[in-house]
Structures are given as structure tokens and as C-alpha cells.
């Protein structure tokens, strides 16, 4: 079915103009007040621990993209991160809780991960050499990355009768890494405790009361180590799949001590990467809408608790188990990804971490060549055009148009994001602004389409021009079209438009 959609998309892209299949709609934006806000640097991406022999469904897609062996000197990698100035990088993943750190009195060989089918997550414990940690921090400084590091939360645990891992967290090794990092002057935005150990967990779990106690312990360690230092890292947890009851209890248990700065959850709204119907799911507005309940429920819990933690999506790759080649690393992936960015921001999510920057079949960069995939450019356009203030946006017309608006970033006016999920129809969108003054001047438009109309293409076109790095590994300029502001915005089939309207003077954006 996915192949049929692909062929249909190619044919329809070239036939739409001739067939004249068009529809009209109206984006109604309330410029009077914000409905939510994001961090200044909303876009985040992950680096993972998976070795090159990590395979899913017969596909071994990780190559040399592990935290332990990624080529940190690659110019495309450096320039890709630099383009965000800074890019949040979350270092973590399933093997978080099997990593030891060669710091302090480590006293044993620092060994790499070795595949073992009988071990948790299919690997024996691995080790982060201190020399590699130094290399990584040099890269972070050079490329301008803002780093969140996921700590091993399973140290010291013992199996419990209910199947969970119990006993207090043995924080000795983690504390040694934190102290070493602080003493070296390495800048860390946040320390995150564990990966997917909350609620039912993924193969392993920790009771909520114990998890809260361990988070409080981490807070005390960080407070003590960073006392008197100019910047104190955030305390982040639990990095799991959202479950209302577990998250509610966790927030309540950590609230009194103010031990938690950021509460993270993971999202893979498309299901497993082996699913052959991923394209249909991505272009199905009803499927995309399912994520709203997670964002809404978490925002309600935080509001009702009166607590200070902010919500992040700590990991999201669309389809789990490393994604699907030529889907979650191709042009069609930008529809679910940008829709998630817009929807999560509407519910006051402060940051959204994409799995992954590189590695698997869902990387923003190609695992082998480091060439940016289409989602990289979608993320970069968001970063450059969408400000922190979120405006309520309603779309009147076809259900195939998704619309999100923010105050413009570092500029006057607003930026409207439009996603057309329809394979056939072009939609002409009029923009109506409530509670704002405007003059119909020139606006800037950024139209993203798939090369040759192929939704599975790994090359995106910006206003008809292919986006590729040059021979020096430089990220291409992202230049807009200048358009008469009195005209509707034309959104072609299966295309994406960022429209910057500098002439909208919205009170919410002042």
C-alpha cells in the first residue's frame, strides 16, 4: 500500500495544476494573547549508545553513530549542529542504564558493549571511557551544543517479587561522573535519571516511590557538587512512556522537595518501524490527533499539582525500533514531525527531542554520509522562524490542513506553519487575525516539497530548489519567496509552508 501511495503522489504532484483540483480555507489566528510558550531553544535531538550490530527486523541501521564511536570531526556534523546555535542534544537511550563511567575509582577495564541475547536489552554492560567524554565535550563546545546526559539509574538494583527493580539507586559511579564534569568546567544543561523505567517500563521498571526518592538523591548530589558555581544543571526525569497515574504520583512525590526541574516523556505515535502502513498513518489527521491526549493530560497534571517542573518530549522518532528506512528518514516524515512540534508547543511543552540526530532509520542526518535528511531542514526552519510564544490557531476548511502559529522569532509579526496532508488538492489559505493590526505588505514563504514528488525521497526542495550541503559540508542558505501579502497562501498537495507575516502587529507578540 505504501508503494501505491508513493506512485500516486508522484503522478498527482505533476497533474494537480492541470486538473485544477483546489480548495479554499481560512487560518484564524488570535493575536491578542498567547496560549503557551516554549523554551527559546525548543528543538532538541538525541545521540544514542546503540552499537553498529544493533539490528531491528533484519535492518542494521546504526552504523558508527554511537556516542562511543561517532566521528566528531565530520564537518557536516559540526556544521549541522552549529546551524542551531545552540542545538540541545540529549545523550541517552535504552542502554543508558547499562553504561558505566571510567571516572574516580573505577578500578576495572572500560569495555565496550558486547551483544548478549540473554542480557537486558541484548547487551552486556558497556563503559564510557573518560577520554571519550573529553572528546565529546570538546565537540559540544566547538559545535555549540547544549547537553542533557542520561544517567544509569539501574546501578545497585535488585529484582523484586513484583518484577520491578528495587532497592535504592547506587549513585557512586554517576556522582563521580558529575563531579569530574563539573571540575573540568564542562557545561551540562541537565542530568536525566534513567530511560524508560517508569510505569510499566520497557522490559524493566522501578516503583514510583523509589524513583522519586532517587530523583531527590540526584538533586542533592547536583546541589552539593555545583554549590558556588555560576550555573547549576537541571534535574530531569523519568524519560518514560506517559502513564497518567504513575506521572501524577511521581510529580506529587518530588514536589515538596522541589527536586524536579523537567519531566520528560517519550512518544512513538506511529507504532513499530516494521509497519508497512506508516505513510498512511502519517497522512491521516485522525492518527496525528491521538497525541493530543498525552500532551493535554500531562499539562493538566502539572497545572493541578501547582508544581514547577516543565514538560519536555525527551525522545520521539515517529516509529520505534529504529524507525523505517525511506519513511522516517524521508520527506514524508516531516508531516508527523512538524505536526508534533506544533501540537506539543500548543500544550506548553518546552522542548522536543528528536530521536535521533544521527543513527537508526529516523536520524536527522544520514548515518553514513551525514547529509541532512528532510526532517533536519524542517527542524531548522522551525528553529529560525517560530518564536517562543504560541498563538491559538483554528483552520476552517479541509481536515487535511494542519495549522500552527507562533510569534516570529527575532523578527516582527507572526509565523504560520501549514501542512497539507492531501495527495490531490491544493489549498489556498486566507489568514484572518483576531485582536491585531495588520497592513497587507510583503510576506516571506518557505515551501517544502519532495524531490521529484517522491514522498520517500531523502532530498527536500525549498521553493523548488534542492537542499544539499556543499563540498565543504556547509548547510545551505534557507531563502524565502517574497509574496504579496494580500494574496492567499498556496499550499500544494503533500507540501509544507512556513509563512512569515511581518506586517501583523499582534499584542501577544509585543
Say which DSSP state 395 is in. Answer: E
Using CA atoms, how far apart are residues 95 and 123, in angstroms rounded to an integer? Answer: 8
Return d(Cα 208, Cα 162) in angstroms, integer: 13
Distance, in Å, from the CA atom of 453 to the CA atom of 437, rounded to the nearest integer, reads: 38
Distances (CA, A) of 369 to 48, 95, 333: 18, 25, 19
Which residues on adjacent β-strands are paired with residue 296?
Answer: none
- Are 248 and 254 spatial neighbours (Cβ–Cβ below 8 Å)? no
Active site residue 315: yes
Cell of residue 148, nine digits: 542533557
The residue count of the chain comes to: 510
Q: What cell does 447 get?
A: 515551501
Which of 102, 192, 315, 425 is catalytic? The answer is 315
Distances in Å between the Cα of 218 and the Cα atoms of 6, 170, 214, 300, 302 are 49, 11, 6, 26, 21
Q: CA 67, 473, 61, 335 torsion: positive or negative?
A: positive
Question: Which residue out of 102, 175, 192, 196 is catalytically annotated?
Answer: 196
Q: Report the alpha-carbon angle 108-111-112, nearest 5.
A: 160
Contact 405, 416 (CB under 8 A): yes
* Residue 196 among the catalytic residues: yes
Torsion sign across C-alpha atoms 32, 35, 38, 44: negative
Expressed in angstroms, the distance from the first to the final Cα of the chain is 48
Residue environment code for 428-441, b if the CB has 16+ CB neighbours within 10 A, otherwise e: ebebebeebebeee
Active site residues: 196, 315
Amino acid at each position: 500500500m505504501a508503494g501505491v501511495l508513493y506512485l500516486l503522489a508522484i503522478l498527482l504532484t505533476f497533474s494537480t495544476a492541470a486538473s485544477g483540483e483546489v480548495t479554499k480555507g481560512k487560518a484564524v489566528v488570535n493575536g491578542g494573547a498567547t496560549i503557551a510558550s516554549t523554551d527559546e531553544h525548543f528543538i532538541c535531538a538525541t545521540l544514542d549508545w546503540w552499537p553498529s550490530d544493533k539490528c531491528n527486523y533484519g535492518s542494521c541501521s546504526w552504523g558508527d553513530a554511537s556516542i562511543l564511536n561517532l566521528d566528531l570531526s565530520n564537518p557536516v556534523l559540526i556544521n549541522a549542529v552549529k546551524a542551531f546555535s545552540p542545538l540541545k542534544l540529549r545523550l541517552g537511550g535504552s542502554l543508558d542504564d547499562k553504561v558505566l563511567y571510567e571516572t574516580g575509582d573505577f578500578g576495572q577495564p572500560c569495555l565496550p558493549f558486547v551483544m548478549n541475547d540473554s542480557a537486558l536489552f541484548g547487551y552486556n554492560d558497556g563503559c564510557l571511557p573518560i577520554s571519550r567524554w573529553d572528546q565529546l565535550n570538546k565537540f559540544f563546545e566547538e559545535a555549540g551544543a547544549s547537553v542533557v546526559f542520561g544517567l544509569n539509574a539501574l546501578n545497585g538494583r535488585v529484582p523484586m517479587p513484583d518484577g520491578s527493580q528495587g532497592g535504592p539507586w547506587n549513585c557512586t559511579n554517576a556522582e563521580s561522573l558529575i563531579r569530574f564534569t563539573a571540575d573540568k568546567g564542562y557545561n551540562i544543561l541537565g542530568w536525566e535519571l534513567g530511560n524508560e523505567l517508569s510505569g510499566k517500563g520497557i522490559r524493566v521498571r522501578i516503583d514510583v516511590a523509589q524513583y522519586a526518592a532517587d530523583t531527590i538523591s540526584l538533586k542533592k548530589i547536583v546541589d552539593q557538587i555545583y554549590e558556588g558555581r555560576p550555573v547549576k544543571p537541571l534535574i530531569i526525569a523519568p524519560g518514560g512512556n506517559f502513564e497518567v497515574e504513575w506521572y501524577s504520583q511521581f510529580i506529587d512525590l518530588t514536589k515538596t522537595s522541589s527536586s524536579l526541574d523537567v519531566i520528560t516523556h517519550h512518544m512513538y505515535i506511529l507504532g513499530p518501524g516494521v509497519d508497512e502502513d506508516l505513510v498512511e498513518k502519517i497522512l491521516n489527521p485522525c492518527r496525528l490527533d491521538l497525541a493530543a491526549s498525552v500532551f493535554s493530560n500531562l499539562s493538566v497534571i502539572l497545572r493541578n499539582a501547582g508544581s514547577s517542573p516543565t514538560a519536555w518530549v525527551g525522545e520521539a522518532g515517529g516509529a520505534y525500533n529504529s524507525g523505517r528506512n525511506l519513511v522516517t528518514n524521508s520527506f514524508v516524515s516531516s508531516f508527523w514531525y512538524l505536526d508534533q512540534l506544533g501540537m506539543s508547543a500548543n500544550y506548553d511543552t518546552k522542548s522536543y527531542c528528536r530521536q535521533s540526530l544521527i543513527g537508526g532509520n529516523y536520524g536527522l542526518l544520514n548515518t553514513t554520509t551525514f547529509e541532512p535528511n528532510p526532517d533536519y531542514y524542517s527542524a531548522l526552519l522551525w528553529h529560525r522562524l517560530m518564536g517562543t510564544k504560541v498563538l491559538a490557531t483554528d483552520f476552517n476548511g479541509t481536515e487535511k490542513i494542519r495549522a500552527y502559529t507562533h510569534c516570529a522569532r527575532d523578527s516582527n509579526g507572526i509565523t504560520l506553519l501549514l501542512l497539507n496532508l492531501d495527495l490531490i488538492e491544493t489549498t489556498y489559505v486566507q489568514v484572518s487575525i483576531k485582536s491585531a493590526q495588520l497592513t497587507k505588505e510583503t510576506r516571506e514563504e518557505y515551501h517544502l516539497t519532495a524531490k521529484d514528488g517522491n514522498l520517500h525521497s531523502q532530498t527536500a526542495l525549498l521553493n523548488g530548489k534542492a537542499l544539499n550541503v556543499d563540498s565543504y559540508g556547509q548547510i545551505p542558505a534557507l531563502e524565502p519567496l517574497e509574496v504579496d501579502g494580500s494574496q492567499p497562501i498556496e499550499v500544494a498537495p503533500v507540501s509544507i509552508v512556513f509563512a512569515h507575516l511581518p506586517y501583523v502587529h499582534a499584542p501577544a507578540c509585543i
